[in-house]
Amino acid sequence: MKREELTSQLRAPYDPKRGCGVAKTPEKGYENIWFVVPPPPPRTPPAKLPLKALAKAAEILARQTEFSAMGGVDKLIAYYFVRREAVESSRIEGTWSTIDHVLTPAELQGGGASPDAGQSVRGYAHALETHLARAAREKERVFTLKTILGIHREIVAKDPSFRGEAGVLRAPNRIGGIVQIGGSFRREESTYNPAPPRFVASSLKSALDWMSDEDLAQRGDAGVNGFTLPVRLAVAHAHFEAVHPFSDGNGRVGRALWPLQMACAGRMPLYLSGFVEAYRGDYNRALQSAQKRLSYGELVEFVCEALRRSDAESSASRAAIEGLPARWRARARFRGSSTALRALELLQRMPIVTIAVLADELRVTKEAARVAVEQLVERGVVRNRGRAGRTQLFAAEELISLLSRPFGSDAEAALEKGRALQLGLARG
C-alpha cells in the first residue's frame, strides 16, 4: 500500500485525539509496513453525493413490500433470494457452491463434521434469515458485536478453505491477526492494509456504534440529516471493510449487513452481491476511494446503481417464478385432483424433490407419488437427475436455471435453457 495514496487525514501517524491515521505493528516481518486505522464513520453527510441516483434509489426502496404485509408469495420469493445471495456472495470470495446445494432436501444434505462449500453456503443463508427477522423487530439495535460474531461463525465455520477461528476478531499474536488486501506476494505491494490487530476491536466498535444509532437512521429516513438509507449502506460498508475485523470472511459478512440495514427500515431487502460480482472492478475502485480518501460519492453511486439493477433483477425473477405453475399446466392436461397437478405448486417452492418428499408433503402414498413423478417427467416438468446415495432426485430445471443465471441475464432465456434440459432427458 502506498502511503501517499491516502488522504492527509489518514496519511498522518495515528493520533488518539483524531482517532485515525497510519500505524505500524510489531509482528515479525511487518515492522516497516503501515496499516490504516480508520476514523469513526462521519456524523455529517458526505459532500458531493449523486443526488439524482439517490432519489431513484430512495423511490425503489420505498416500493419494496413491508415485512408486516408479506404474503405467501413474498415469503417464497424471499426464501429463494436469500439463497441466491448466499451463493453469489460466497462465490465472490472463492467459496464455490451452487443453488442446488441450498435447495436440496434436508435429508440429502451433507451434515457431517467435515466442512464443505455447500454447508458453508447453507450457513450463510441461515444466518441471513435469522438476523433479517431480528432486524425487522429490533431495528438498528441489531448491530451489536454479538450479531457480527454470530454471522461470521455461521458463514465460515463449515467453509473448507477457512483458516482461523470462526466468530473471533483479529487480535495481536493470533494466527490471521494481520490482514492485507490485494497486491502481489510482496507485503509492500498490497492494495490496502486494514487496521492493525490492536486497533480492530475499538475500530469495529466505532463502526457498530454508528450503525446502531437509531436516531441517525430515523432522521436520515425523514430527510433531516442527509444520511438516507443508500448513503448509510455505502458508509457503513466502507468502514466495516476498512476495519476488516476477521482473518477471513469479511466480504461475506460485510455484504450480509446490507440486507439487514434494509430490513431495519421495515421492508423486504434487495440483494446486491450479484451486482457486486458482475461489476467487481467498479466496486473495488469505489471502495478504495471511500477507504483511502474518505470520499464516499463513488461508493454511494455504486450502491444506488446496485439497488436499481437488483430491483429489476428481482422483479424479473419474481414474475418468472410466479408464472411457473401456469406454464407447467399449459403443457399437458392434468386431472383436477391428481397428485401430479398438486405437485406443480409444491415444485414452485421445492424444485428438487424425492418420491419420499413428494409423498410426505402431499400426504399421499409413495406409489401415488411415484406415478405422479413419472407423469411430470414425461411432460417435461421435472428431470430425473439420477441417484444421490440411495435416493432418486427429481428437479424442476427451469426454476433451478432461473435462480442460477448470471446477474442481469434474461429470465426467459434461463427458463428455456432449463426447459431444453428437461425435454432432452424426457425424450431420451
- Under the banding of pLDDT at 50, 70 and 90, the label for residue 187 is confident
DSSP strands (E only) in 79-158 = none
Residues 336 and 287 placed together within one structural domain of the fold: no
The DSSP code sequence of 358-398 is: HHHHHT--HHHHHHHHHHHHHTTSSEEEEEETTEEEEE-HH
Q: Is residue 5 part of a domain?
A: no
Residues 275 and 409 placed together within one structural domain of the fold: no
Q: Does the pLDDT at position 186 exceed 90?
A: no
Integer-rounded Cα Rg, in Å, for the chain is 24
Q: Is residue 321 part of a domain?
A: no
Q: Is residue 411 part of a domain?
A: yes
Alpha-carbon distance of 261 to 96, in angstroms, equals 26
Structure-model confidence comparison of residues 399 and 113, the more confident one: 399
SS3 36: strand
Residues 361 and 394 placed together within one structural domain of the fold: yes
Q: Is residue 252 part of a domain?
A: yes
Q: Does the pLDDT at position 209 exceed 90?
A: yes
Mean residue pLDDT of the chain comes to: 92
Q: Give the angle subtended at the CA of 396 by the CAs of 66 and 132, to the nearest 5°.
A: 25
* pLDDT score, position 89: 92
Total structural domains in the chain?
2
* pLDDT score, position 167: 95
Question: Last residue of some domain: 249, 283, 314?
Answer: 314
Instruction: Give burial (CB, 10 Å; 0-12/13-18/19+) of 421.
Output: middle
Residues 135 and 189 placed together within one structural domain of the fold: yes
- Under the banding of pLDDT at 50, 70 and 90, the label for residue 277 is very high
- Under the banding of pLDDT at 50, 70 and 90, the label for residue 225 is confident
Question: Among residues 316, 310, 297, which one has the least CA distance to residue 52?
Answer: 297
The DSSP code sequence of 250-304 is: HHHHHHHHHHHHHHHTTBPPP--HHHHHHTHHHHHHHHHHHHHH---HHHHHHHH
Helices 51-62 and 229-243, packing angle to 10 deg: 100
Residues 344 and 304 placed together within one structural domain of the fold: no
Domain that holds residue 300: 38-314
Q: Is residue 170 part of a domain?
A: yes
Question: What's the whole-model pTM score?
Answer: 0.93
Mean pLDDT of 284-291: 98
CATH code for position 62: 1.10.3290.10
* pLDDT score, position 428: 39
Structure-model confidence comparison of residues 250 and 95, the more confident one: 250
* pLDDT score, position 145: 98
- Under the banding of pLDDT at 50, 70 and 90, the label for residue 426 is very low
Question: Last residue of some domain: 314, 339, 359?
Answer: 314
Q: Is residue 217 part of a domain?
A: yes
Residues 308 and 340 placed together within one structural domain of the fold: no
* pLDDT score, position 424: 72
Residues 2-34 pLDDT 10s: 999 999 999 999 999 999 999 999 988 898 999
Residues 56-100 pLDDT 10s: 999 999 999 999 899 999 999 999 999 999 999 988 887 777 888
Residues 394 and 253 placed together within one structural domain of the fold: no
CATH code for position 352: 1.10.10.10
Q: Is residue 25 part of a domain?
A: no
* pLDDT score, position 423: 80
- Under the banding of pLDDT at 50, 70 and 90, the label for residue 427 is very low
- Under the banding of pLDDT at 50, 70 and 90, the label for residue 42 is very high
Residues 230 and 153 placed together within one structural domain of the fold: yes
SS3 327: helix
* pLDDT score, position 97: 73
What letter would DSSP give residue 142? G
* pLDDT score, position 110: 52
Question: Among residues 285, 233, 248, which one has the least CA distance to residue 41?
Answer: 233
Q: Is residue 12 part of a domain?
A: no
**Residue 394's beta-bridge partner residues?**
353, 384
Task: Say which range, 198-202, 398-402, 421-425, has the weakest mean pLDDT.
Answer: 421-425
Question: Last residue of some domain: 253, 279, 314?
Answer: 314
Residue 300 backbone phi and psi in degrees, to 5: -60, -45
Q: Does the pLDDT at position 376 exceed 80?
A: yes
Residues 86-139 pLDDT 10s: 999 988 887 777 888 788 876 566 554 445 667 888 889 999 999 999 999 999
Mean pLDDT of 321-342: 90
Residues 294 and 374 placed together within one structural domain of the fold: no
Residues 300 and 341 placed together within one structural domain of the fold: no
Element containing residue 148 per DSSP (H, E): helix 145-156
Residues 306 and 340 placed together within one structural domain of the fold: no
Residues 197 and 287 placed together within one structural domain of the fold: yes
